[in-house]
Amino acid sequence: MALDYHGADFRQVAPLKVDAVAELLGSEICIRGRLETRLEACCDRCLGPVIIPVEQEFNLFYRPVSTIAREEEVELPEDELGVGFFSGDGIELADVVTEQVILALPMKVVCRTDCRGLCPVCGANLNIEKCGCLPAKEDSPFSSLKEG
């Protein structure tokens, strides 16, 4: 399955495996399953490539949009905030899966926890080389502690 991630800043580097079952419960559609793939994104610090294994389980409910139109005001109970809506004939599984892949991504992508990032002065990758620039002390939240 090839997904369209709408210009997101990562790309899929392994085949996407999806096991999903869609069930019709009254007028609602229930989609359950899990997906597995690998994505490549850029490290937030050094911009190097980072492989992110993705494993996501999902259990989703969708209601036809027409049910909102009929009930003037719809107040969803707390536990139903995860309910989505669909219009027309049903739901594109690809859309559901794309959303789940994006949800599975970490907020912050770093190639490794101690990534040194790029030198703010010359742009050198500090994981690979030591540039001659002065260390940017203000980048560290602890620098003020050390200096007293």
Angle in degrees, CA 24, 27, 28, rounded to 5: 60
Of 99-118, which residues contact Zn ion (CB under 5 A)? 111, 115
The distance of closest approach from Cβ of residue 137 to Zn ion in the complex, given in angstroms and rounded to an integer, is 14
CA distance 50 to 72: 47
Q: Is 51 in the site for Zn ion (CB under 5 A)?
A: no
Out of 18, 43, 96, 118, which residue is the one contacting Zn ion (CB under 5 A)? 43
Report the distance separating Cα 30 and Cα 70, nearest Å: 21
Q: How far is the CB of 138 from Zn ion (least distance, A)?
A: 15
Among 45, 54, 63, 101, binds Zn ion (CB under 5 A): 45
- Output the CA–CA distances (angstroms, integers) from residue 142 to 51, 114, 116, 127, in the order listed: 29, 15, 15, 20
Choose between 29 and 119: whose C-beta lies nearer to Zn ion: 119
Choice from 93, 102, 109, 131 touching Zn ion (CB under 5 A) = 131
Is 91 or 109 the residue whose CB approaches Zn ion more closely?
Answer: 109
* CA neighbor of 90 nearest in space, from 62, 60, 58: 62
Residue 52 CB, shortest distance to Zn ion, in Å, is: 13
Instruction: Say how far apart CA 137 and CA 80 lie, in whole Å.
Output: 47
CA distance 123 to 82: 43
Which range binds Zn ion by CB under 5 A, 2-10, 78-86, 94-102, 132-140?
A: 132-140
CA distance 88 to 48: 42
Q: Which residues bind Zn ion (CB under 5 A)?
A: 43, 45-46, 48, 111, 115, 119, 121-122, 124, 131, 133
